[in-house]
Every structure is written in C-alpha cells, then in structure tokens.
Structure 1
C-alpha cells in the first residue's frame, strides 16, 4: 500500500491528517473496565480497516479495537522510538516495505508469527512477498503481507484532450514505452497547456523509476552503490531535467498542497501504484469522477509500496494481536479492501486470481479495468532490493530534486548535493 502503497506506497490519506494526533500517545493493548481486551492497530494511512474492525468486534465480543493513523515518516519514526524504549507501540503495527529492512536489525523485538500459525499461510502469498515477510529466512515470520503496489500511470483525460493527445487508455500507454518517451510527451503537453504541469512531483517520478530496478541504492550484499550505479544517475538526471523544464507541479507528496493540486487538476499525470487510486479519488473528490483514467507505466511494470502487519512483543495481548493481524490480511479481507474505496492490491495469489477481483472496474476512473491492470500484472512483479539503510540513502535524492523544483539548484548541482548528503547519512 500501498499501498507502497502502497504505498506504496506509499503515503498518508486525507484521513491521516485528522487522526495524526492519536498516533502520538497511548500504549498497546489493555483491559477495559468492562473486561474487554482493547487492541490498537497503527497504520500510516487509511488501510480500509474500519468495516473489517467492526466485523471483527461483532464476532469477537470480548475485543475492542482502536485505530491509530499517522503520516508515513512520522509513523515509522515513532515506531523506532517505541521499539527502542520498550513501550508505546500499538498491538498491531503496519510497516511499509521500504522501512522493513530497518526493523530487520531488531526483529527480536517483534513476535515471530510462525509461533501463531503463520507458516500455514505461506502458499497463499506471492513468493517474493513471503520472502520479504520472512526476511529471507525459512522460519521467522515478521509480518503478514497486506498489499502490493504494481505500477501504472493515472492521467486526466480532459487535460490530454486539451493538449491534443489521445485519451483512450490503450493509446495513451503507447505514448510512452520508455521514460524518455514519457518526458518527451510531457514537453508536447506543456507546449499546448502551459498553465498545467505534466506530473505532480519529481520525487514520485524518481521513486517509480528506481522501483523498476532490481538493485538501486544497495546491492545484494547490502553495500551502498547509489554513487556508482548508472541507473541512479540516469533516472535522477532525467527527472531533474524535466523538472527544470517546468514539467513538475512541484508539490510535496501527500501534503495538503498536493491534495489540493489533485483536486484542482494542476497536473496531467501521476505515477499510480494500485493504492494511489484511493488517494486520488479521495483528494480529487466526486466532482472530478470520470476525468481520471489509468494507462500502462513506462518501462514495463514495477512495484511501489506494500506493507506488513507486525506484532511487537511489548504488547500485553500478543496472541490476540496476532489473531487480529491474521484476520486483517486474510483472503476475504484483502478482497474486500481491493473492491472497496481504498483499492489496495492484494498480495495473496488466490485473491489475485479471483474472478471478481480480476473483473473489478473503477467507476471513478472512467470504468477502468483495475483488476486487469493491477491484479493481472502482480504475478510478474519483481521488487527491487532494499538495503538496511535504504531510507537514509533515498531521502537525500528526493531533497535534491526539491531544490530543482524550487529553482535553487540545476540538475548537476542537485546531483552533487544528493551524493554528499547520502554519504553523510551513511557514515
């Protein structure tokens, strides 16, 4: 979930802003005055769990469940603090795939879900998703996989028509078999529609491009290669050059300004893992329904986001928390989430092959066949390797691209800044 979501994915939905204060306080499970067990579930966006939680409480009358929703980085930084201090973590905690390597080093602080029957679910999962959950081991299960974030491009049909570009999703996909073609199409768009940007954020574009590589910032031995991997420079410079040419709307992803930009139609395209469709629909609102559509992504697919539900050992009700995590990631639950408003793509093979899932269409995105677009490609996804310090390496490149967006650095200057900052972060 993306969701990197994403999520992907990923990222905070509008609901996160309203609920962020909840995430900063409280502890794990407790016993209520009426004898009920209270469990907390912490996520970094709306995972679509509200109706599932209501269902679980009906079938488990002795359990009360509370959600904590906070913003992406804040959520993971708080979890680091809570794990280090030994208190404050929720009973069930989502960890995005990009952050999972960071917590790999302290896996002893998390419940081995194999002790609670997780190994019986191995064959349900996409092979690579299960390998991520087990941290490359054969027996330790750190988390139950939630979603995966196969990539596409979401685009505004009305803006494409204004620029004289095709609007049919198949024809749109043919415009950009490569990222070079994507940026070239952006130049043509800007020549016709100079008051709109081609894409929302240089950071989101760069992330999608990097997520198509097998190895990006780290190699299989967990050695940093961001300063000598030619793909890193190639993708960075291509994005920075397009940004310098004003193709970017220069919006900070998942900020209030970014949400407003989506609603106002300030950009024609967005990199779009499955979980992003829910983000766009929520931000753009019903008034923009049918204006958006979905086409193939340049470069032949890729994955952005996807999370895992973990159970920190510090909770008072680890057994019950593990059972809840199992339920929230079950085949039935993942199917309901994908076919509901959130649209997070399942990570379970039986769900991806389900006829109803494969036939799912999105009314909001002009009846786009989201099941065919996303679920159909998920079986062939190959995630890129994430080092234990992946976030420390990635963030400087995003910061450097923001300097280009702000007109404070040209692409070469930004590249040098990114390398210097990354080197400092990794010392």
Structure 2
C-alpha cells in the first residue's frame, strides 16, 4: 500500500467521493479523493492560481473506506469524486469495470505513455489495452528505516552500510531481532508482523495469484509461506510492537522510541516524520532492505465516467502527475515518482533529508528505481490479502501459533473467492 495511508477520520465512505459541482462563486469546483495524504495541498493552491475560476477540493479518508466507497459509487452510478486515486491493489479489479471510467486516451493520455516506466503505464490500462483507466502517480521502492539510538544501546553498528550488512536476507534480519531483544528489553525490533510480511512477499513476482491465469496459488506458493513463517515467528517471539502503521498506537510507538526498525517504502517517510515529531530528528536513519529491493504500493489517478467535467478533471490529473509536480512531491514529501525523467533528475538524486541523518534519499530510493519490478496482483487480490494480515495479528496476540494461523488464513482466502 503506497503511502497508504494515514488514517483521517471523515464521516462516511461516500463523503470522500463527493461529486464535483459548481463552486460557490459560480466557477468550476473539482473534487479529488485520495486515501491518506498525497502531499497535494500546496499543488491544489498552485493549480487554482494558474487556472482562474477553478476550485480544487481534496477529500481524504482511510484506505479501506476510500476504495469501498469508490466501488459503491461506481455500482450505483453517482457519488464519485471528479478525480479519484486508486491504489495498485485495487487496479486489477477496477480495470474489469473500465466502462465506469473515462477513457483518458480520449483526452490525449496515450501520447504520454513514455513518461512512465512500462509496467507502471500497463497497470493503468484495461486488460484489452483499449482504455486508459488511470495515470500513475508514485511507486513504493523499499528500504529499511532504523533508530540509531536503539541500535547503539544494543551494541549494533549504526553506519548505513554496516547495518545493511547485518541482514542480507530476511532470515538474517530475524536473527538480529533476537539479538536486539536480549540487549534492549524495553523496545521492540519491528512495528508489526504484517509490515515485515508485506515487504517480504512484495519482493516476489507472484504471491496470491498466478500471473499466467490469475489462479489462486497462495496455498502452494513458497514465497507466501516463507514470508508468513518469517513474519509469524517474529510475532510469536514478541519481537514486534504489534502496532499497525497509520494507527494511533503506531504513532505513539514511533514517537516514544518503542520500535527499532520499520520496513519503509518511500511514501512512509512522511508518516514516520509526522509521528516522530521534531524530537525524532537525527534518531532515524535509512538503509537497504533485506533481500534487495522491491515495490510496496503505488497509485493512479482516475476520472469516473459519471463526472460532469471529465475533460477538466483529466487536465487536473495530468497536471498533478506531470514531471514538475512529481519532482516537487519527492523533494517535499519523499513520494517516489514512477517516471524515469524525474527519478533520474539530479535534483532528485542529490536530495537528502536531515530528519533521517542526512540520508541520501535520492540514491537510496530514486537511483534504484530502474530495478523496481511490481509483483502480480490478481483481480481478487483485495479480497485475499487482508486475510493473511489478520492471521498474523492472531499470532502476535498469542491466540494461535504460526501453523494454525496459516491454515485458517488459507481456508478463509479460499472461502472469500467462492
């Protein structure tokens, strides 16, 4: 889940997809619905300045409510915002309903395909290749955020390269977690088993569904079982703080130094900074993630066909995803662009962040972007993926052992697909 996604409590699912309408001053009002903050606030203001008569209103809600609200609005034919962000997990499902979205090629989007890496563009196009459903925003290149002060207390190295050398594999990462627990009993090594699990499976090309025929393969896919066993063991041993990202307990754990490492796609940096506050400056650092790179999240801007201002909505979506705006979002919010022109830009490559010990974010994230490859997401991915996260939660709470949780997760996943 890309920056998936600080929870902001808006009233109902459908309020996050309120349809665009005329502004109060007689001008045009366009609504943009996102899940979590995309860093768009200043961009909306700039767009209004450069497009007199246009008012841009953001609607922000949590991840699940946002997407379920969109699905409902598409089903009933009204209630969707003018521009709606869709996370990659939901794109395969929504591409099956391409007729519910404006074909962005009709407004010239097909001429822009070379802006994006090929796989990013392809995920935004209908399966038959005829409809451009969405314009790509970011991608979620993986790294590992760690607390320098907690590593020092544990007698572990704090230099980025030496820290990365501790865990060439996720099994090595688990071994470091055991050592850390012996030396620092009042903090936990990872935030949650679910976070670790997501990072591990996102390094594999296939997880829940087969790329060839979209068949369910999680029960027999060694990539999924390995990820579940590694993350589950961390939870069962008490190596995790049992706090899910984008919740208040997670914010507290981050701000109070209760977590030593967080697998962090680029979009999560802003969430760590916000949760940690000024007191966290210089305590956090960033290094390579075990197992090499990977991709966790990434989104698209879509224009529902029910909107009354489709061309104007497309123009806004195109502007928000243009290289100039994508470059700015990386520098201000650490949101990793999916456009080679942007992530190869010297301004991006040379970007550092004092909050993370002047970590070279450009080199850590942007410079590795050419190696990022997506894992295949099945049409029913959004129905299956949460089942395994809940299973790991049961392990962390001591309600089940890893084997029991796995067996129940597989059963529930199969039931969800019936």
Structure 1, residues 18-73: CA drift from partner, whole Å, max 9, x if none?
xx237642731111342201100000011011111101101111111100000011
The alpha carbon displacement at 1:140 in A equals 1.9
1:118-137 to 2 correspondences below 5 Å: 118-137=109-128
Q: Aligned partners of 1:48 and 1:426: how far apart in 2?
A: 35
Contact 2:14 2:79 in 1 (8 A): no
Partner of 1:95: 86
1:156-195 to 2 correspondences below 5 Å: 156-195=147-186
The alpha carbon displacement at 1:242 in A equals 1.6
The alpha carbon displacement at 1:394 in A equals 1.1
TM-score norm. by structure 1 comes to 0.95
Partner of 2:35: 44
Q: Aligned partners of 1:142 and 1:307: how far apart in 2?
A: 12
1:257 to 249, 263, 279: 249
Q: Aligned partners of 1:86 and 1:161: how far apart in 2?
A: 57
Q: Aligned partners of 1:104 and 1:139: how far apart in 2?
A: 11
The alpha carbon displacement at 1:136 in A equals 4.6
Question: For 2:371, what is the secondary structure of its paired residue?
Answer: coil
Structure 1, residues 150-209: CA drift from partner, whole Å, max 9, x if none?
000000000000000000111101110000000001101101001111100111110111
Q: Aligned partners of 1:319 and 1:100: how far apart in 2?
A: 22
The alpha carbon displacement at 1:135 in A equals 3.7
Instruction: Establish whether residue 210 from structure 1 lines up as the match of residue 204 from structure 2.
Output: no
The alpha carbon displacement at 1:101 in A equals 1.1
- Runs of 5+ in structure 2 lacking a partner? none
1:303-322 to 2 correspondences below 5 Å: 303-322=295-314
Structure 1, residues 187-236: CA drift from partner, whole Å, max 9, x if none?
01101001111100111110111100101000011100011111111110
Question: For 1:379, what is the secondary structure of its paired residue?
Answer: helix
Instruction: Establish whether residue 396 from structure 1 lines up as the match of residue 387 from structure 2.
Output: yes
Instruction: Establish whether residue 377 from structure 1 lines up as the match of residue 371 from structure 2.
Output: no
Partner of 2:218: 226
TM-score norm. by structure 2 comes to 0.97
1:1-20 to 2 correspondences below 5 Å: 4-5=1-2, 7=3, 10-12=4-6, 16-17=8-9, 20=10
Instruction: Establish whether residue 247 from structure 1 lines up as the match of residue 235 from structure 2.
Output: no
Contact 1:22 1:69 in 2 (8 A): no
Q: Aligned partners of 1:426 and 1:23: how far apart in 2?
A: 24
Partner of 1:74: 65
Question: How many pairs were matched up?
Answer: 416
The alpha carbon displacement at 1:253 in A equals 2.4
Structure 1, residues 255-275: CA drift from partner, whole Å, max 9, x if none?
111111111111100011000
C-alpha RMSD of matched pairs (Å): 1.2
Contact 2:14 2:70 in 1 (8 A): no
Instruction: Establish whether residue 112 from structure 1 lines up as the match of residue 81 from structure 2.
Output: no
Judged with a 3 Å threshold, the aligned counterparts in structure 2 of structure 1 residues 403 and 186 are, in CA distance, closer, same or farther, namely same
Contact 1:23 1:68 in 2 (8 A): no
- Runs of 5+ in structure 1 lacking a partner? none
Q: Aligned partners of 1:403 and 1:105: how far apart in 2?
A: 33
Instruction: Establish whether residue 336 from structure 1 lines up as the match of residue 335 from structure 2.
Output: no
